[in-house]
Amino acid sequence: MDIYLDNIASTPILEEIKKDMPYWLDLYFANPSSSHNKGFEVKEAIIKARKNICNYLGIKSTQELIFTSGDIESNNLAIKGYAIYKGLEKGGHILASQIEHISVLHPLKTLEKIGFEVEYIPVDSYGFVDIDILSKKIRKDTILVSIGLANREIGTIENIKELAALIKEKNQNTVFHSDISACVGLMKINMEDLGVDMASFAGHYFYAPHYSGGLYIKKGVHIRPIIEGGTQEGSRRPGIENIIGILGMEKALKILYDNLDNNTVKLSHLRELLKSSISTEFSDKIVFTGHPEKRLPNHLSFYMKSLKSESIISLLNMKKIYVSSNSPCISSAHKESYVLKAIGTENPEGALILSIGLYTEEDMIGYVAQAFSEVIKSLETYTKSLR
């Protein structure tokens, strides 16, 4: 039995979507920019999907949604696209939290190198942005603030609405961007209610096909493209549209939001059951990370006080249980998590993330807890033998 508990990194495509994909592949192959009936069919399907996705995410106008390849492209387009619009030669002041995804932090590092001033706001032990420091850092020349709605490594959900109000109170011209990728499909999203000016998301986090995503840009906020050579997406993101990804996102959001309350209850229950099973036996050996309540319903994160997660993940993998230690983008570079350092984690090398999915069942939790116990005990025995 394979048990996949890495849904914060990527989710399987919903069965309902997989059933429709052969039909979509047969019907929607033409270029939607073509001036013939087959192209018109694809264009109409995109128009319909865009309207429905906007409704699910509380976006007032379809012109405020750009389709992209995912969160990394959306974050780059939002940050670099807005900076280019403001004028690279003018520079400007930008703020972000210390624990943003690297697809936010890396573009900011690039902007620093060409003259922009970027400051990083510290977070507390739960991962919440220090609101007092943020308030003091906002200036007349602060053009952009980027703070994610939820952190993928520790699961904490930031109070974005409060931060948005503060930012606009301090400087109404400052644009507020948020990466909301970890939250779409897990909680109700209303862009206008959140108060953000731009928001990034990706389909592979909510059971849609890979290489699909979007960027919300509030009316009145302008960006320049970072890719050129086409008129698609209002010339803001040129390139032929990923029709399968777009239709997959539309269907996934419909299914998820039609069942949101039930899904939340199920995911939260399984998470707490898993947490209880692990903490009962190893309460003196682990420390849970992120806020205990203001967190993603499917997300459990902690670190071992004296063991390395690499060994634990490897042994669980042998038992066909799949978990992670931090963001895949960090793991692939073999780097220690800057998120865990920022919140004061004593042993970042012992961090683990177990993220529940729609296909996780209650009988799997007991199996995982038992396997986890066996792995920890075997590692402890091995460690003692080396002393």
As annotated, the active-site residues are 329
- Cα–Cα distance between 140 and 173 in angstroms, integer? 9
Paired with 324 in beta bridges are 353
- Cα–Cα distance between 60 and 191 in angstroms, integer? 8
Token output for 260:
């949101």
Residues 274 and 337 in one domain: yes
CATH code of residue 142: 3.40.640.10
- pLDDT at residue 89 greater than cutoff 90: no
- Going by C-alpha positions, the residue among 69, 9, 100 that lies closest to residue 328 is 9
Residue 301: the pLDDT is 98
Q: Which of these three, 240, 258, 276, is where a domain ends? A: 258
Kindly state the percentage of the chain with pLDDT values over 70: 97
Residues 347 and 206 in one domain: no
- Going by C-alpha positions, the residue among 18, 174, 21, 173 that lies closest to residue 95 is 174
pLDDT band at 386; cut points 50, 70, 90: confident
pLDDT band at 384; cut points 50, 70, 90: confident
Residues 160 and 252 in one domain: yes
Tens of pLDDT, residue by residue over 123-167, are 999 999 999 999 999 999 999 999 999 999 999 999 999 999 999
Q: Which of these three, 225, 258, 291, is where a domain ends? A: 258
- Cα–Cα distance between 163 and 131 in angstroms, integer? 7
- Cα–Cα distance between 102 and 94 in angstroms, integer? 16
Residues 101 and 126 in one domain: yes
Let me know: does 123 contact 76? Beta carbons within 8 Å: no
Residues 243 and 277 in one domain: no
Residue 226: the pLDDT is 94
* Cβ contacts of 309 within 8 Å, gap of 6 or more: 303, 325, 349, 350, 351, 352
Let me know: does 355 contact 136? Beta carbons within 8 Å: no
- Cα–Cα distance between 105 and 97 in angstroms, integer? 9
Tens of pLDDT, residue by residue over 29-40, are 999 999 999 999
- Going by C-alpha positions, the residue among 73, 29, 50 that lies closest to residue 210 is 73
pLDDT band at 387; cut points 50, 70, 90: low
pLDDT band at 98; cut points 50, 70, 90: very high
* Cβ contacts of 141 within 8 Å, gap of 6 or more: 92, 93
Residues 24 and 118 in one domain: yes
No. of H helices and E strands in the chain? 13, 12
Q: Which of these three, 221, 242, 258, is where a domain ends? A: 258
Residue with tokens 């042998």: 318
Residues 254 and 338 in one domain: no
Residues 248 and 271 in one domain: no
Residue 51 sits in which domain range? 15-258
pLDDT band at 91; cut points 50, 70, 90: confident
How high is the mean pLDDT of the chain? Answer: 95
- Cα–Cα distance between 78 and 198 in angstroms, integer? 7
Residue 330: the pLDDT is 57
* Average pLDDT of the residues in 57-61: 98
Let me know: does 142 contact 95? Beta carbons within 8 Å: yes
3-state secondary structure of 337: coil
Residue 265: the pLDDT is 98
How many domains is the chain built from?
2
Residues 190 and 118 in one domain: yes
Residue 326: the pLDDT is 81
- Going by C-alpha positions, the residue among 369, 373, 364, 372 that lies closest to residue 3 is 364
Residues 229 and 267 in one domain: no
Tens of pLDDT, residue by residue over 334-356, are 568 999 999 999 999 999 999 99
3-state secondary structure of 297: coil
H helix runs in the chain, sequence order? 15-27, 37-56, 71-86, 102-113, 131-137, 160-170, 191-194, 243-258, 260-282, 309-318, 328-331, 338-342, 362-386
Residue with tokens 């209610």: 193
Residue 90: the pLDDT is 76
How do 3-4 and 198-202 pair as beta strands? unpaired
Let me know: does 74 contact 201? Beta carbons within 8 Å: yes
Residue 230: the pLDDT is 92
Residues 254 and 273 in one domain: no
pTM across the whole model: 0.95
pLDDT band at 333; cut points 50, 70, 90: low
How far is C-alpha 189 from the geometric centre of its chain's CA atoms?
13
CATH code of residue 278: 3.90.1150.10
Tens of pLDDT, residue by residue over 355-371, are 999 999 999 999 999 99
Tens of pLDDT, residue by residue over 187-221, are 999 999 999 999 999 999 999 999 999 999 999 99
Instruction: Tell me how far apart the 2 most distant CA atoms of the chain are, in Å.
Output: 75
Residues 178 and 300 in one domain: no
- Cα–Cα distance between 81 and 87 in angstroms, integer? 10
Question: Residue 58 belongs to what H/E stretch?
Answer: none
E-only strand ranges, the chain:
3-4, 65-68, 93-97, 117-121, 142-146, 175-179, 198-202, 213-217, 286-288, 299-304, 321-322, 351-355
> Phi/psi at 301 (nearest 5 deg)?
-135, 145
Neighbouring C-beta atoms of residue 126, cutoff 10 Å: 17
pLDDT band at 331; cut points 50, 70, 90: low
pLDDT band at 290; cut points 50, 70, 90: very high
